[in-house]
Amino acid sequence: MIISIISLTTLALFLISATKNVFVTTPLQLDIPKYFPTPSKNIFAKNKITEEGFQLGKKLFYDTQLSVDGTTSCGSCHQPFAAFATYDHDFSHGVNNKFSTRNAPSLVNLAWMSNMHWDGAINNLEVQPLAPITDSNEMGETLPNVLLKLKKDTSYRHYFKNAFGDATVTTERMLKALAQFMGTLISANSKYDQVRKGTAQFIAPEAAGYEIFKQHCNTCHKEPLFTDNSFRNNGMPINKLGDVGRQKITQQPSDALKFKVPTLRNVGVTIPYMHDGRMLTLELVVNHYTNIDTTLQNLDPILKKRIQLTEREKKQLILFLYTLTDTSFTRNKRFLPDIVQNFENHR
Amino acid at 17: S
CA distance 84 to 106: 5
pLDDT of residue 16 exceeding 80: no
Asked if residue 105 has a cis previous peptide bond (ω within 30° of 0), the answer is no
Q: Where are the domains of the chain?
A: 51-187, 191-325
Question: Which residues 6+ apart lie within 8 Å of 17 measured at CB?
Answer: none
- Kindly report, residue by residue over 186-210, the tens digit of the pLDDT: 999 999 999 999 999 999 999 999 9
CA distance 195 to 100: 38
Helix (H) or strand (E) holding 259: strand 259-260
Amino acid at 204: A
Same fold, 51-187 and 191-325: yes
CA distance 113 to 107: 10
Average pLDDT (75-85) is 96
Average pLDDT (300-304) is 95
Amino acid at 200: A
* pLDDT confidence of residue 286: 98
Q: Vertex 231, ends 139 and 226: CA angle to 5°?
A: 90
Neighbouring C-alpha atoms within 13 Å toward the C-beta of 244: 11
| Helix runs in 85-134, H state only | 130-134
* pLDDT confidence of residue 41: 84
- Kindly report, residue by residue over 32-44, the tens digit of the pLDDT: 999 999 988 888 9
* pLDDT confidence of residue 343: 44
Mean pLDDT over each residue of the chain, to the nearest integer: 92
Closest C-alpha among 127, 121, 115, 131 to residue 249:
121
Cβ contact 320:213 at 8 Å: yes
pLDDT of residue 121 exceeding 70: yes
Please state, for a pLDDT cut of 70, what percent of the chain lies above it.
91
- Kindly report, residue by residue over 306-332, the tens digit of the pLDDT: 899 999 999 999 999 999 999 999 999
CATH of range 191-325; options 2.40.50.140, 1.10.10.10, 1.10.760.10, 1.10.260.40 = 1.10.760.10
Question: Which residues 6+ apart lie within 8 Å of 219 measured at CB?
Answer: 228, 302
- Kindly report, residue by residue over 251-277, the tens digit of the pLDDT: 999 999 999 999 999 999 999 999 999
Instruction: Classify residue 159 by its DSSP letter.
Output: H
Amino acid at 84: F
User: Model pTM?
Assistant: 0.90
Q: What fold, for 51-187?
A: Cytochrome Bc1 Complex; Chain D, domain 2 (1.10.760)
